Amino acid sequence: MTRLLSSFLMLILLVAIPATACTNFIASPKATADGSVIVTYTCDGEFHPILRNTPAADHGPDDYFEVTTWGGKVLGKVKQPAHTFAVVNLMNENQVTIGETTTGGREELTNPEGMLSYWRLMQLTLQRAESARHAIQVMGDLVDEYGYNSTGESFAIGDAHEAWIMEMVGPGPGGQGAHWVALRVPNGYVSAYANGGRIATFDWDDDDNCLHSGQDMVQFAQESGWYDEADGPFSWRKAFHPATPQKLRYTAARVWSLFRRCAPSQNFSADYQRGDADAEPYPLWVKPDEKLDVAAVFDLMRDHYEGTEFDMTQGVDAGPYGNPTRWRPMGFEVDDMQYTWERPISTQQTGFSMVTQSRSWLPDPVGGLTWYGLDDTWFTCYVPLYCGIDAIPESYARGGLGQFTWDSAWWTFNFVSNFAALKYSYMSPDIRTVQNQLEGQFLALQPAVEKTAAELAKKDPELMRAYLTDYSVQHAEDVVRKWRDLGEYLLTTYNDGYVKDADGRAREKGYPDSWLRAVLKQRPEQFLLPTDETLSEPADY
């Protein structure tokens, strides 16, 4: 047995760049149309994701995992258990899945002496966890033994039966372990969070629905000046995740949009996410008006606040073609006044995103399914990767940030979405047509594929694994080929600002009247042509 699992290190590269701007949505079994536990995760940041699978392994008593920085400095060693589970992306063979979003919290609580960052904590946990509840305990035990060195973090943790929210902050320089609390999402409800602490008060003694690191966090908050008993019951969010108007706009707006779409009957106000000091924070979870299927969750992850007063496809800031992309930085200053762009769920800097299903009525290799997408969720195509597969599509494991190649799925998706920014309102429907066709086919095939796989699981588990692997890999590669064709079609159809008609002839389309009026409002004289009556003498051509 090797003392250092190189395949595990490669899997860690999937989230090698800290993802500081992510969105999570969680649906409990009775909130979904088929009874799945659904966990979503947009891993947002400037990095090239590398999809990997880590096979299950047995370990000897002296085996360990060596933890290093990305520069190669050794931080320490983590003892390996007797057996580690197979992991595909961020779901293990037991249908346990983990997503995350960085909350920051109080950054002074970061402990540089801790060994484990949040992404290594996630991967080590997935190799060890038998259930979502077990995963929470494993995470707590790991940071207790080896230390935690990230800032505040929220985790979405699911299995085939339960969904949990776990939030963690460090102990500060030189401290021990970490402070954390985890709450089970009530069955029939959905939850969401996006770079902001969401857990407030909780029942310390409800062991079925609440797990935590211990009540010493209250004394710690008191001694730090972040909590006073006179203010009422201890609130995790108030103590460790103080809000600012900028942070609310950046974080709570995404929660608001997910909730207002899942439960429109509750008429969630935008006041809190706009920084109104008198507005009530959004609840930790809500009951959706209708049960959600997977396609509906895909759509939730493709949100730019369409149809609201914050719709990013509208206004002069969207340009002439209604582009919801806003380039970084989000905040900016003009004439000593501070401003910020809206921060949507669907954003150009997404490295990868996932929508997972964990299902209790199917064998684990079949019931655990990751719908995996690269780049901007609006323009991606989610492909099915079952947790029982033992290989991954090669194009999803190729490439790097510094070199474009059509052989990389990530670069292929990036080419299409970046080119679409030139004429968004024209190209977006073309891309979405292909997206809907492919995802629709996958969803239509899903029952038949899973019925066949479940039957094979009873007769020949290895044949079942080969069947699922072939289905997942071949269809993912087919999507990349179709996306490459799509990119080439867009390049020739929308070349140099022209739009080709059905006969292949380039046509001038100009600009929308609304945008032309906005231009003329700023410079009313520059583009104005004189009338014949205003000419003092005939024009000399």
Tell me, letter by letter, the H, E, C secondary structure of 376-416.
CCCCCCCEEEECCCCCCCHHHHCCECCECCCCCHHHHHHHH
With tokens 């909130």, the residue in question is 31
Residue 285 has a pLDDT of: 98
Tokens of 243: 């809000």
Spatial separation of the C-alpha atoms in residues 434 and 316, rounded to whole Å: 29
Question: What predicted TM-score, i.e. pTM, was given to this entire model?
Answer: 0.94
Residue 136 has a pLDDT of: 98
Q: Which residues pair with 158 in a beta bridge?
A: 97, 163
Map residue 132 onto helix, strand or coil: helix
Spatial separation of the C-alpha atoms in residues 345 and 259, rounded to whole Å: 13
Map residue 527 onto helix, strand or coil: coil
CB of 389 closer than 8 Å to CB of 412:
no
Residue 15 has a pLDDT of: 37
Q: Please report, for the chain, the start and end positions of each structural domain, with discontinuous segments joined by +.
A: 6-243, 362-400+408-493
Residue 535 has a pLDDT of: 61
With tokens 């730019």, the residue in question is 304
Tokens of 141: 């035990």
For the chain, 541 residues long, give each residue's pLDDT as a single digit of tens.
333 333 333 333 333 444 468 999 999 999 999 999 999 999 999 999 999 999 999 999 999 999 987 778 899 999 999 999 999 999 999 999 999 999 999 999 999 999 999 999 999 999 999 999 999 999 999 999 999 999 999 999 999 999 999 999 999 999 999 999 999 999 999 999 999 999 999 999 999 999 999 999 999 999 999 999 999 999 999 999 998 888 899 999 999 999 999 999 999 999 999 999 899 999 999 999 999 999 999 999 999 999 999 999 999 999 999 999 999 998 999 999 999 999 999 999 999 999 999 999 999 999 999 999 999 999 999 999 999 999 999 999 999 999 999 999 999 999 999 999 999 999 999 999 999 999 999 999 999 999 999 999 999 999 999 999 999 999 999 999 999 999 999 999 999 999 999 999 999 999 999 999 999 999 999 999 988 766 666 555 5
First to last CA, the chain: 85
E strands, 15-171, in order: 23-27, 37-44, 53-54, 57-58, 64-68, 74-79, 83-84, 87-88, 91-92, 97-104, 152-158, 163-169
CB of 388 closer than 8 Å to CB of 366:
yes
Please state the separation of Cα 240 from the chain's center in Å: 23
Residue 252 has a pLDDT of: 97
